[in-house]
C-alpha cells in the first residue's frame, strides 16, 4: 500500500478525483454495458503522470459499488529480462486466494503452474522478444510451450467467463506499454474471442498505456491498430488537465498540510502543464521557480538517455534555444552535419520528446522535460550554446525576437548586448500594447545598468528617466506599489541637488501614484514639493502637470478652494502649451467637483476631455475620463448609460493594452457592479471572473463577484470570501477590496442568523473608513443597513419567543447601529458631490429596518424604499418588496402583500437568488397567499430525522459548513436541508425558523 503522503503532501492518487468527470462518465457507460451483459473494451492512453491510474482506481471503486467484480493486473518494466503473462498472473491471483473462487481452477489444470508457481503441464516457451524479456527470469512462473498456448488462452478465457457468469467482471490491465509478447498475444485472443464473435458475457476490459512511450517501432503499436478495429473497443485519450483543475488538485493536496502560498500554487500550475504527477512532485518539493526535484529529474532524463548521442545533442541545443525552436537554428548551432541533425531530430520526435508545431517549429512535449535537459548541462556547455544561439539570432534578424536575443546574450554573459536587446524588446512590447512584457524588459535593463559602462548612450536617456518609464509600465499593469518603489529610486538617484525640473517631474508622478493607493497625505507633500521646484511663469509642461496633480490631491482632501487655484492654473497653461492630456486630466477633476449637480454640463465637459485625452495619446488620462463618464452615470442612477460607457472604455483599454491599469480595473469594477445592480447577474459574474489572475490592485474586481455568489446562496461564496480575507493586509491601501469583502461577511452572517457578527463587522468597517476617508463615508450606510436587517431578525425572534431580556438587548444594539449609519449619512459633504439615488435608497432602507427593529409594521416606510430602489437596483428593490409584503400582511392588506410577493418572486427566480426566493415562498405559505408554483404551508408538516438534527444544530448557531462537518455531509447538502426546513416552517430565515420551531415544540 503506497504512503498517503510524500514530503508532507498527500498523494494526488489518494485524494478526490479532479477534472476527469467526462472521461469517468465514458468508462462508467461501459460498466453499465457490462452489467447488462454486453462485453466491451476501452484502451486508455495518456502521458506518464497524467492520471491514468487515478482514473482507473476511481472506475474500479465505482464499478464495485455497482456489484461488479474487479480484477486488476499490472505490467512491470523489467528491461531485457521479463516475466511472461505477468499482468494476467497478477490479475488472476485473487482467484487463487479466494476459497470461493479457487475451485473453478480445478477444471483448468493448465493454469495451475502459471498461477500457483508450481510446475504444471506446460514446458518452457521460446524466449520473448526484446521488449518482453526472457521467461528464464527467476523461474517461478512457467509458461507453456507454443503447442500449449492455445490451450492456455482458452483456459483463461473460460475461467473469466465462469467468473462473469456469477458476477459482472471488470478487468483492468495497467501499463500495457511494458507488456511482454505473451501477454499481448493473450490480450489479443481474449478480446477477439470476447468481441469479434459478440459473445454475450458481462465483461469489460480496460487497458492503459503510455502514449509518450510508443515510439515508431514499439511492439504495442501493431496490436493497438488491430484492437481498435474490433467491434466494441473504445479508445480514450487522457489529455493534460486544464489549469483550473490542476489548481484545484494542488490546493486539495496542500489543504491538509496547512495550505500553500498563492505564488507557489501558480508556479506549480504553470510548470506542471496539466500533469498530475508533476504537480505532486513540484508541490512536495515546495518549489516556486526553483530547480526540479531530483526524483522528477531522473524520471524525465531516463527517457532522454535512451536516445543516441546525436539525438541527445539536438535536445540540448533545443533546450537552450527555448521551448520552441526552428530547424534552421538547431542545424546552425549543432556541430553535426545537416543529415545527422535531421536523423537526430526525427528520433527525438518519434520518441515523443519533441513534437512539431503547426508553424513547423519543434517544441518539447512538456516544459519540465526541457528543464531537466537544461539542468543536466555543464555550465560551460550552457554558456557556449547560449552564445552560439545569440550569434545566430544577431546574424539573422528574422530568426528571433529582441526578447530572445536579450535572454541568450544575458545567459552567455554578453551584458552590453543583453542590455541593448532588452531595451529593444521593451520598445517592441510598447508598440504592440503589451505593458506587462514592457515592464519585464525594462526591469531587466535596469538590472544591467551598472554593469554596462556606456548604458546611458545605449539607452539614449539617463537612468532616472528609464526608472520613470519603468514605473509608467508598472502603473499600466496595475503594479502600483512597484511603480512607487521605482519612482522612489529615481528620487534618490537625483538627490536633493539634482536638476529642479527633473526632481519636480518625479515628485508629481509619485503624488499621482500615491493617490491611487490611498496615501493622499503623502501625495500632497509630493505635489507641494513639485510646485515649489518649478515657477509658474513662464508656463512649462512640468509645472502644468505639477499644478494638475496638486489640484487633484487637494480636492481629494476636501481643500476645494486651494484646489480651484491650482486647477485654473493648470487649465490655462495646458491651453497655452497645447497639452491636451494635462487639460483633460484637470478638466475631469474640476468638472466632477463643480458641475456634479448639473448632469448635462458635466457630461459635455467629460466628453470634451475624452476627445482631448484620446488626441494626446495619453492612455492613463484617457482611461480616467472613461471611468469618470461611467461613474458619473452610475451615481446619477443611470445604469444602462453606466454600462454603455464601461463597455466602450474596456474596449478602448484592451486596444491600448492597459486593461489592468488603475483606471482600467476601476472601469471593470463599475461594469461588474452595474450589471449586478441592473439584474444581469450572469454577466456580472462573467466580468468578475474573466481573468483568473489579476494584479493585486485589481483584486476587488474578482471580489466583486461575491455580490452575485452571496445573493444566490452559492457555496462557492465562502471559498471566494476566504481568498479575499487572505488579502486583508492590503485593505488599508485598497478600500474597495475591503468594502467588497466586508459586505460579503455581513451578508453571509445575516443569512446564517448571526446578527452579532453582522453588527460587529459593520462597526469595524465604519471605523476603518473614518480612519482612511475621514468623516465623508457614505459606504457605511449600506453596510449598516444590511447588518441592521440581521439585528432586526434577531429582535423579531426574541419577541416571538417571549424572551424580553434578549429583545431589549437586540433593540438597544439596533438603535446604536442605526445611529452609526445616520451619522455617516449626515457627514457627507455636498461640496464634494451630491448624494445620488443609490445613497438615498440605502438611507430609506436603513430607516425602514430601524422601524422593523421595534416590531412596528410600517408599510409606508418600506414602500418608500421600494420606490427609491426603483432607480434601477433590481435585487434590492425585490428585497424591499419582500419586507413591504411582510408589513402589509401585518396590517391585513393581503391583496397588496400578494402583489408585492409576486413581483419579488419573479425577480428572485430570474436572478437565481435562492435565499430571497426561499424567504418569499415561505412568507407566501405562512400568509396563505397565492404564488405561482408555491403551495400553502401544512401545519402538520413533520420534519425528517435528518432535518431534526439539522434544526438542532441551527438552534445552536451552527453555520451550514459546521452542520455539514458535524453530520458528515457536504456543505451543499446541509444548505438543502436548511432550505427544506425554512420552507416547511414557512420561515424567511434561520433565526425565524428556530423561533417558529420552538413555538411549535419541535426543539428538544
Beta bridge partners of 237: 45
pLDDT over threshold 50, residue 348: yes
Long-range contacts of 926-929 (CB under 8 A, 24+ apart): 926/986, 926/987, 927/889, 927/894, 927/897, 929/889, 929/894, 929/897, 929/898, 929/901
Query: Cα–Cα distance between 893 and 187 in angstroms, integer?
Result: 78
pLDDT of residue 133: 38
Is pLDDT larger for residue 760 or for residue 77?
A: 760
pLDDT of residue 935: 58
pLDDT over threshold 60, residue 355: yes
pLDDT of residue 128: 43
pLDDT of residue 239: 87
Neighbours of 380 (CB within 10 A): 8
* Grid cell digits, residue 838: 443609490
pLDDT of residue 902: 95
Query: Cα–Cα distance between 277 and 44 in angstroms, integer?
Result: 17
pLDDT of residue 637: 93
Percent of the chain topping pLDDT 90 = 41
- Radius of gyration (C-alpha) of the chain in whole angstroms: 36
Beta strand 233-238 with 40-46 is parallel
Query: Cα–Cα distance between 576 and 670 in angstroms, integer?
Result: 35
pLDDT bucket at 12, cuts 50 / 70 / 90: very low
> Three-state DSSP class for 545?
helix
Query: Cα–Cα distance between 481 and 76 in angstroms, integer?
Result: 55
Neighbours of 510 (CB within 10 A): 27
Neighbours of 244 (CB within 10 A): 12
pLDDT over threshold 90, residue 791: yes
pLDDT bucket at 295, cuts 50 / 70 / 90: low
- How distant, in Å, are the alpha carbons of 410, 754, 999 from that of 368? 22, 49, 65
CA dihedral 521, 522, 523, 527 (to 10 degrees): 110
* Grid cell digits, residue 266: 501558480
pLDDT over threshold 70, residue 875: yes
Q: Out of 133-142, 849-858, 979-988, which region has the weakest mean confidence (pLDDT)?
A: 133-142
pLDDT of residue 860: 96
pLDDT over threshold 80, residue 299: no
pLDDT of residue 940: 53
Query: Cα–Cα distance between 696 and 737 in angstroms, integer?
Result: 10
Q: Which residues contact 829 (CB under 8 A, 6 or more apart)?
A: 558, 775, 776
Long-range contacts of 727-735 (CB under 8 A, 24+ apart): 727/696, 727/699, 730/696, 730/699, 731/768, 732/518, 732/768, 732/772, 733/481, 733/517, 733/518, 733/519, 734/517, 734/518, 734/696, 734/697, 734/699, 734/700, 735/518, 735/769, 735/772, 735/773
pLDDT bucket at 985, cuts 50 / 70 / 90: confident
Query: Cα–Cα distance between 692 and 495 in angstroms, integer?
Result: 41
CA dihedral 440, 446, 449, 450 (to 10 degrees): -120
* Edge-to-edge strands, sheet with 324-325: 324-325, 362-364, 354-356
pLDDT over threshold 90, residue 912: yes
pLDDT over threshold 50, residue 734: yes
pLDDT of residue 939: 47
Sign of the alpha-carbon dihedral angle for 806, 807, 808, 812:
positive
**Residue ranges in 943-1001 assigned as alpha helix (H):** 945-955, 960-967, 971-985, 990-999
pLDDT of residue 694: 60
Q: What does 172-230 look like in DSSP terms, one character per residue?
A: EEE-GGG--HHHHHHHHHHHIIIIITT----EEEEEEEEGGG--TT-THHHHHHHHTTS
Phi, psi of 236 (to 5 degrees): -120, 115
pLDDT bucket at 832, cuts 50 / 70 / 90: low
pLDDT of residue 259: 60
pLDDT of residue 2: 34
pLDDT tens-place string over residues 232-261: 899 999 888 887 887 877 777 766 555 666
Query: Cα–Cα distance between 89 and 68 in angstroms, integer?
Result: 20
pLDDT over threshold 70, residue 144: no
Q: What is the mean pLDDT of residues 453-476?
A: 93
Q: Out of 164-173, 563-572, 949-958, which region has the weakest mean confidence (pLDDT)?
A: 949-958
pLDDT of residue 247: 80
Query: Cα–Cα distance between 552 and 567 in angstroms, integer?
Result: 8
Which of 131, 126, 116 is closest to 78 using CA atoms?
131
Kindly report the CA angle at 827 between 831 and 548, in degrees rounded to 5? 35
pLDDT over threshold 50, residue 131: no
Query: Cα–Cα distance between 921 and 239 in angstroms, integer?
Result: 46
Q: Out of 298-312, 445-459, 548-562, 646-660, which region has the weakest mean confidence (pLDDT)?
A: 298-312
pLDDT of residue 260: 64
**Number of continuous H segments (helices) and E segments (strands) in the chain:** 48, 10
pLDDT over threshold 50, residue 81: no
Q: What is the mean pLDDT of residues 209-231?
A: 85
pLDDT tens-place string over residues 376-390: 888 898 899 999 888
Assess contact for 426 and 438: CB atoms under 8 A.
Answer: yes
The chain-wide mean pLDDT, for the chain, equals 84
Is pLDDT larger for residue 701 or for residue 302?
A: 701
Percent of the chain topping pLDDT 70 = 88
pLDDT bucket at 125, cuts 50 / 70 / 90: very low
Highest-confidence range of 599-613, 704-718, 859-873, by mean pLDDT? 859-873
pLDDT of residue 166: 85
- How distant, in Å, are the alpha carbons of 36, 153, 464, 861 from that of 423? 68, 70, 15, 65
pLDDT of residue 484: 93
* Grid cell digits, residue 636: 446619477
pLDDT of residue 113: 67
Query: Cα–Cα distance between 618 and 152 in angstroms, integer?
Result: 81
User: How many residues make up the chain in this entry?
Assistant: 1004
Sign of the alpha-carbon dihedral angle for 102, 105, 109, 114:
negative
Beta bridge partners of 207: 43, 173
pLDDT tens-place string over residues 517-543: 878 889 999 999 999 999 999 999 999
pLDDT bucket at 281, cuts 50 / 70 / 90: low
Unique residue bearing C-alpha cell 512532485:
281
pLDDT of residue 143: 43
Q: Out of 267-271, 650-654, 955-959, which region has the weakest mean confidence (pLDDT)?
A: 267-271
Assess contact for 27 and 42: CB atoms under 8 A.
Answer: yes
Q: Which residues contact 371 (CB under 8 A, 6 or more apart)?
A: 271, 292
Q: What does 867-921 look like in DSSP terms, one character per residue?
A: HHHTTT-HHHHHHHHHHHHHHHHHTT-HHHHHHHHHHHHHHHHHHT-HHHHHHHH
Q: Out of 72-76, 255-259, 474-478, which region has the weakest mean confidence (pLDDT)?
A: 255-259
Query: Cα–Cα distance between 812 and 818 in angstroms, integer?
Result: 10
pLDDT over threshold 80, residue 733: no
Query: Cα–Cα distance between 173 and 186 in angstroms, integer?
Result: 12
Assess contact for 78 and 134: CB atoms under 8 A.
Answer: no
pLDDT bucket at 116, cuts 50 / 70 / 90: low
pLDDT tens-place string over residues 632-684: 999 999 999 999 999 999 999 988 888 888 888 899 999 999 999 999 999 99
Amino acid at each position: 500500500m503506497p504512503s498517503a503522503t510524500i514530503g508532507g503532501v498527500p498523494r494526488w492518487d489518494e485524494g478526490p478525483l479532479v477534472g476527469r468527470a467526462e472521461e469517468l462518465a465514458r468508462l462508467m457507460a461501459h460498466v453499465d454495458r457490462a452489467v447488462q451483459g454486453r462485453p466491451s473494451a476501452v484502451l486508455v492512453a495518456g502521458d506518464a503522470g497524467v492520471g491514468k491510474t487515478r482514473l482507473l482506481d476511481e472506475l474500479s471503486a465505482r464499478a464495485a459499488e455497482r456489484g461488479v467484480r474487479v480484477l486488476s493486473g499490472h505490467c512491470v518494466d523489467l528491461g531485457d529480462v521479463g516475466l511472461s503473462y505477468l499482468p494476467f498472473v497478477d490479475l488472476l491471483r485473487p482467484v487463487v486466494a479466494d476459497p470461493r473462487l479457487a475451485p473453478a481452477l480445478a477444471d483448468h489444470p493448465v493454469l495451475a503452474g502459471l498461477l500457483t508457481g508450481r510446475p504444471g503441464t506446460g514446458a518452457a516457451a521460446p524466449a520473448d522478444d526484446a521488449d518482453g524479456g526472457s521467461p528464464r527470469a527467476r523461474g517461478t512462473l512457467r509458461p507453456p510451450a507454443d503447442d500449449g498456448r492455445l490451450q492456455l488462452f482458452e483456459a483463461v478465457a473460460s475461467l473469466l467467463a465462469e467468473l462473469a457468469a456469477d458476477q459482472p467482471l471488470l478487468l483492468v490491465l495497467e501499463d500495457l506499454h511494458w507488456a511482454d509478447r505473451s501477454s499481448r498475444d493473450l490480450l489479443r485472443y481474449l478480446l477477439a474471442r470476447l468481441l469479434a464473435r459478440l459473445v454475450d458475457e458481462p465483461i469489460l476490459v480496460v487497458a492503459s498505456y503510455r502514449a509518450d512511450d510508443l515510439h515508431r517501432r514499439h511492439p504495442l503499436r501493431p496490436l493497438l491498430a488491430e484492437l481498435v478495429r474490433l467491434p466494441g473497443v473504445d479508445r480514450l485519450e487522457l489529455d493534460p488537465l486544464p489549469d483550473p483543475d490542476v489548481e484545484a488538485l494542488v490546493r486539495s493536496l496542500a489543504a491538509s498540510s496547512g495550505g500553500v502560498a498563492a505564488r507557489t500554487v501558480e508556479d506549480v500550475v504553470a510548470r506542471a502543464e496539466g500533469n498530475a504527477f508533476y504537480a505532486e512532485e513540484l508541490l512536495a518539493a515546495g518549489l516556486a521557480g526553483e530547480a526540479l526535484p531530483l526524483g522528477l529529474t531522473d524520471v524525465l532524463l531516463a527517457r532522454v538517455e535512451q536516445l543516441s548521442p546525436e539525438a541527445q545533442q539536438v535536445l540540448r541545443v533545443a533546450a537552450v534555444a527555448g521551448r520552441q525552436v526552428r530547424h534552421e537554428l538547431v542545424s546552425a548551432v549543432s556541430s553535426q552535419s545537416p543529415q545527422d541533425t535531421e536523423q537526430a531530430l526525427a528520433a527525438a520526435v518519434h520518441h515523443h520528446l519533441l513534437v512539431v508545431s503547426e508553424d513547423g517549429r519543434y517544441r518539447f512535449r512538456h516544459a519540465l522535460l526541457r528543464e531537466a535537459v537544461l539542468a543536466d548541462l555543464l555550465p560551460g556547455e550552457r554558456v557556449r550554446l547560449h552564445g552560439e544561439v545569440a550569434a545566430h539570432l544577431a546574424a539573422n534578424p528574422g530568426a528571433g525576437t529582441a526578447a530572445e536575443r536579450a535572454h541568450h546574450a544575458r545567459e552567455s554573459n554578453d551584458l552590453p548586448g543583453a542590455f541593448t536587446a532588452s531595451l529593444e524588446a521593451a520598445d517592441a512590447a510598447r508598440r504592440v500594447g503589451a505593458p506587462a512584457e514592457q515592464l519585464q524588459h525594462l526591469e531587466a535593463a535596469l538590472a544591467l545598468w551598472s554593469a554596462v559602462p556606456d548604458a546611458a548612450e545605449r539607452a539614449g536617456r539617463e537612468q532616472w528617466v528609464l526608472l520613470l518609464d519603468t514605473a509608467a509600465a508598472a502603473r499600466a499593469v496595475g503594479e502600483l506599489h512597484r511603480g512607487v518603489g521605482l519612482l522612489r529610486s529615481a528620487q534618490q538617484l537625483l538627490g536633493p541637488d539634482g536638476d529642479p525640473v527633473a526632481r519636480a517631474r518625479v515628485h508629481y508622478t509619485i503624488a499621482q501614484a500615491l493617490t491611487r493607493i490611498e496615501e493622499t497625505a503623502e501625495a500632497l507633500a509630493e505635489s507641494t514639493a513639485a510646485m515649489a521646484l518649478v515657477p509658474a511663469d513662464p508656463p512649462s509642461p512640468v509645472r502644468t502637470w505639477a499644478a494638475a496633480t496638486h489640484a487633484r490631491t487637494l480636492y481629494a482632501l476636501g481643500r476645494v478652494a486651494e484646489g480651484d487655484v491650482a486647477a485654473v492654473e493648470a487649465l490655462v497653461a495646458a491651453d497655452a502649451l497645447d497639452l491636451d492630456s494635462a487639460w483633460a486630466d484637470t478638466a475631469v477633476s474640476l468638472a466632477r467637483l463643480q458641475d456634479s449637480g448639473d448632469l448635462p454640463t458635466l457630461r459635455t465637459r467629460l466628453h470634451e476631455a475624452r476627445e482631448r485625452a484620446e488626441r494626446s495619446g495619453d492612455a492613463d488620462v484617457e482611461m480616467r475620463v472613461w471611468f469618470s463618464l461611467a461613474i458619473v452615470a452610475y451615481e446619477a442612477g443611470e445604469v444602462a448609460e453606466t454600462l454603455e460607457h464601461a463597455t466602450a472604455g474596456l474596449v478602448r483599454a484592451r486596444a491600448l493594452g492597459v486593461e489592468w491599469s488603475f483606471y482600467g480595473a476601476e472601469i471593470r469594477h463599475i461594469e461588474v457592479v452595474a450589471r449586478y445592480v441592473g439584474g444581469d447577474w450572469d454577466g456580472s459574474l462573467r466580468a468578475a471572473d474573466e481573468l483568473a489572475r489579476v494584479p493585486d490592485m485589481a483584486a476587488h474586481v474578482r471580489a466583486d463577484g461575491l455580490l452575485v455568489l452571496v445573493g444566490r446562496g452559492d457555496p462557492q461564496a465562502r471559498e471566494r470570501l476566504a481568498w479575499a480575507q487572505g488579502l486583508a493586509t492590503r485593505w488599508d491601501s485598497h478600500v474597495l477590496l475591503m468594502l467588497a469583502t466586508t459586505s460579503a461577511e455581513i451578508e453571509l452572517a445575516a443569512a446564517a442568523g448571526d446578527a452579532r457578527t453582522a453588527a460587529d463587522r459593520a462597526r469595524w468597517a465604519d471605523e476603518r473608513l473614518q480612519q482612511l476617508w475621514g468623516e465623508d463615508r457614505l459606504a457605511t450606510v449600506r453596510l449598516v443597513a444590511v447588518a441592521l436587517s440581521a439585528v432586526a431578525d434577531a429582535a423579531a425572534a426574541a419577541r416571538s419567543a417571549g424572551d424580553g431580556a434578549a429583545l431589549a438587548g437586540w433593540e438597544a444594539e439596533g438603535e446604536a447601529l442605526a445611529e452609526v449609519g445616520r451619522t455617516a449619512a449626515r457627514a457627507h459633504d455636498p461640496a464634494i458631490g451630491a448624494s445620488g439615488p443609490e445613497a438615498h435608497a440605502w438611507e430609506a432602507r436603513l430607516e425602514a429596518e430601524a422601524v422593523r427593529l421595534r416590531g412596528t409594521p410600517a408599510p409606508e416606510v418600506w414602500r418608500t424604499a421600494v420606490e427609491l430602489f426603483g432607480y434601477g437596483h433590481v435585487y434590492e428593490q425585490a428585497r424591499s418588496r419582500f419586507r413591504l409584503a411582510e408589513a402589509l400582511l401585518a396590517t391585513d392588506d393581503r391583496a397588496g402583500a400578494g402583489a408585492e410577493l409576486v413581483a419579488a418572486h419573479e425577480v428572485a427566480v430570474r436572478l437565481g437568488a435562492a435565499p430571497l426566493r426561499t424567504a418569499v415562498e415561505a412568507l407566501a405559505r405562512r400568509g396563505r397567499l397565492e404564488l405561482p408554483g408555491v403551495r400553502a404551508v401544512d401545519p402538520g408538516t413533520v420534519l425528517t430525522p435528518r432535518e431534526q438534527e439539522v434544526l438542532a444544530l441551527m438552534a445552536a448557531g451552527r453555520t451550514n459548513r459546521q452542520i455539514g462537518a458535524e453530520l458528515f455531509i457536504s456543505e451543499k447538502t446541509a444548505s438543502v436541508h436548511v432550505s427544506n426546513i425554512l420552507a416547511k416552517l414557512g420561515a424567511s430565515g434561520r433565526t425565524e425558523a428556530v423561533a417558529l420551531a420552538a413555538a411549535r415544540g419541535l426543539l428538544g
